[in-house]
Structure 1
Amino acid sequence: MTVGHLLPVCLWRIVLTLLAWGWVAWALAQPITVIDDRGRTVTLPAPPQRVVSILPSLTETVCELQQCHRLVGVDRYSNWPAAIATLPRVGGGIDPNIESIVALRPDVVLVAVSSRGSERLEALGVKVVALEPKTHADVQRVMGKVAQVLGLPPQQAQRIWRQIDAAVSAAAQSLPPEVRRLRVYFEVNRAPYAAGASSFIGETLARLGAQNIVPAELGPFPKLNPEFVVRANPDVILVSERNFPDLTERPGWGRIRAVREGRLCVFPNEQADTIIRPGPRLAEGARLLADCLRKHAQP
């Protein structure tokens, strides 16, 4: 007869609960070592309880992992979810407020590889982990890395990614075959900078079946000569509300089919933020793009 049979059921449940809490306490006491996207090895003495994020996609990832409560500061551009609205703002990736960050006494600061200030923070004794998702595969990988930094089981990140990936596939399957004939141009900035085929936005458009007029060899987000877009003559133009003013008035753009026929998707800024951030709202961004393509799929 096992010990389990000797103990009353209620007492056995208490024992199991205590064992589980003991495991959690043990896990929380263990050091964490990660290799970030700079190739640097970062060791934390224990899972961080005070986290600063200065990249919106990383902020959103922390919250998607149900750890918003660990955030003590975020960058000025992080605006989702609503739970972070009252957190202190510590500048942006190119102009982080080092003094404000240090004053928050973070256990770790999450930054993009391209962020400035990492070396200064590290010189001041602050742990910095640099992670920068650029593709769908990166979104999956970075979610796993953030979970690792936070001391969470890898299965938690894996489960979230499976849900995201399945939702992107569902968005693609919801579209009519006519979408595959659409040649599209996605403008991310008025310079103009475009979302090329090799960007995560380009990957989403490809999964939805659309043809990107900006080839992969130009890079993920190339700056284009406006005449390039005129010559490419896209069927549909996708742009944020903040970047839309005067777009149709650019020299020669009146000849573009998308402009001539009003085949434009102008996303409110909140929706545009969802689409242009390579993070856990990737599936929501795919649904927004799918709605646009569906609207203009008919000849």
Structure 2
Amino acid sequence: MTFRFSALILTLALLLPGLPAHAQLTVTDDVGQSVALPTPARRIVSLAPHVTELIYAAGAGHALVGAVDYSDYPVEARAVKRVGSYVRIDLEAVAALKPDVVIGWRSGNPATQLERLRALGLPVYINEPRSLDAVAHSLRQIGILAGTQGEANRAADAFVAHRNRLRDDYGSRPPVPVFYQIWNQPLMTINGHHLISDVIRLCGGHNVFDTLDVLAPKIGVEAVLASNPEAIVASGMGESRPEWLDEWRKWPTLTAVQQNNLFFVPPDLIQRHTPRILDGADRLCRHLDTARGKRTP
């Protein structure tokens, strides 16, 4: 009997080689780096407000133990311990929370600070969605990291369905040349690789600065005058329309000024890489349709 039992164990070992006690999960982040965790993360630190929002949307809010300033959505996020700002991370505070994974932001977090977190032995996943498809992908990836794939996949599917409805409604309408203004001093816009440009395209618009090399370039007033956008869209910093949007009325030759196509979209709805960006897209699409309606037949 002992011989037979030993033979059975040997046979199973040969048939099932290399089975670990705990299956490791591995994902590739948005800069192509592999991030491996022994088990789904139970303690997560977010290094960007939009990442915090994605974590909750993916059903992993219960695992969030640290977040940067301005992580204010949903309301529950406001009670999470702060670890500095996205441009000035409190590395000691992050390490003290003993996270299973840290989720950073490529174009927002200083690269040197992300490297220091890795040097401390912390797994760091970099998030950098540049398209609406990438927002859905971010939800699915966070779901894998946190073991909440079911809820994350449902959120991603709902996001894609909403995106498709907007594309079907607005994507093939006559194009509207758009200047999207991030800020006034310095005057800043976005290029064609920015997520907001994908939203503009979704609505049947065309970013007049889409060929610039820098993701969020500084430009001059002369460049805006030369591009002569049919619509100017700005978000500013808060829920109120920025006063500087109406400063374009100083240049009455601009088509956007002549047609009174100076539009505002709240920044939380279009400048965060989260499912809420489609709420901003809803508003932007309606604004661009308003611009179309003012054209002379």
Could you say which TM-score interval applies, normalised by the shorter chain? 0.7 to 0.9
What is the match of residue 188 of structure 1? 182
What is the match of residue 262 of structure 1? 260
Amino acid at match of 1:278: H
Q: How does 1:236-247 map to 2 (within 5 A)?
A: 236-242=231-237, 244-247=242-245
Q: Please point out which of 43, 67, 87 is paired with 1:94.
A: 87
TM-score, with normalisation over the residues of structure 1? Answer: 0.79
Q: Give the CA deviation at 1:64.
A: 0.8
Q: Distance in 2 between matches of 1:121 and 1:105?
A: 11
What is the match of residue 160 of structure 2? 165
Q: Give the CA deviation at 1:291.
A: 2.5
Q: How does 1:36-185 map to 2 (within 5 A)?
A: 36-114=29-107, 115-116=109-110, 117-153=113-149, 156-175=151-170, 180-185=174-179
Q: Secondary structure at the match of 1:85?
A: helix
Q: Contact conserved, 1:175 with 1:290, CA < 8 A, in 2? A: yes
Q: Give the CA deviation at 1:102.
A: 1.8
Q: Distance in 1 between matches of 2:123 and 2:171?
A: 49
Q: CA RMSD in A?
A: 2.6
Q: Secondary structure at the match of 2:191?
A: coil
Q: Contact conserved, 2:30 with 2:129, CA < 8 A, in 1? A: no
1:219-249 residue CA offsets vs partner (Å, 9 max, x unmatched): 5433222211111111111101438333443
Structure 1: 5+ residue runs without aligned partners? 1-27
Q: 1:34 to 1:277 in 2, by over 3 A?
A: same
Q: Contact conserved, 1:172 with 1:290, CA < 8 A, in 2? A: no
Q: 1:78 to 1:233 in 2, by over 3 A?
A: same
Q: Give the CA deviation at 1:176.
A: 10
1:118-154 residue CA offsets vs partner (Å, 9 max, x unmatched): 222222232222221122232233222212211233x
Q: Secondary structure at the match of 1:203?
A: helix
Q: Distance in 2 between matches of 1:63 and 1:184?
A: 32
Q: 1:77 to 1:182 in 2, by over 3 A?
A: same
| Pair 1:202-2:197 in alignment | yes
Q: Contact conserved, 2:245 with 2:262, CA < 8 A, in 1? A: no
Q: Distance in 2 between matches of 1:119 and 1:219?
A: 23
Q: Contact conserved, 1:171 with 1:208, CA < 8 A, in 2? A: yes
Q: Give the CA deviation at 1:207.
A: 1.9
Q: Distance in 1 between matches of 2:249 and 2:283?
A: 29
What is the match of residue 12 of structure 1? none
Q: 1:292 to 1:128 in 2, by over 3 A?
A: same
Q: Contact conserved, 1:33 with 1:42, CA < 8 A, in 2? A: yes
Amino acid at match of 1:93: Y
Q: Write 1 or 2 for the structure with the bigger share of helix.
A: 1
Q: Give the CA deviation at 1:74.
A: 1.0
Q: Contact conserved, 1:90 with 1:97, CA < 8 A, in 2? A: yes
Identity level (%): 28
Number of equivalenced pairs: 267
Structure 2: 5+ residue runs without aligned partners? 1-20
Q: Distance in 2 between matches of 1:207 and 1:102?
A: 41
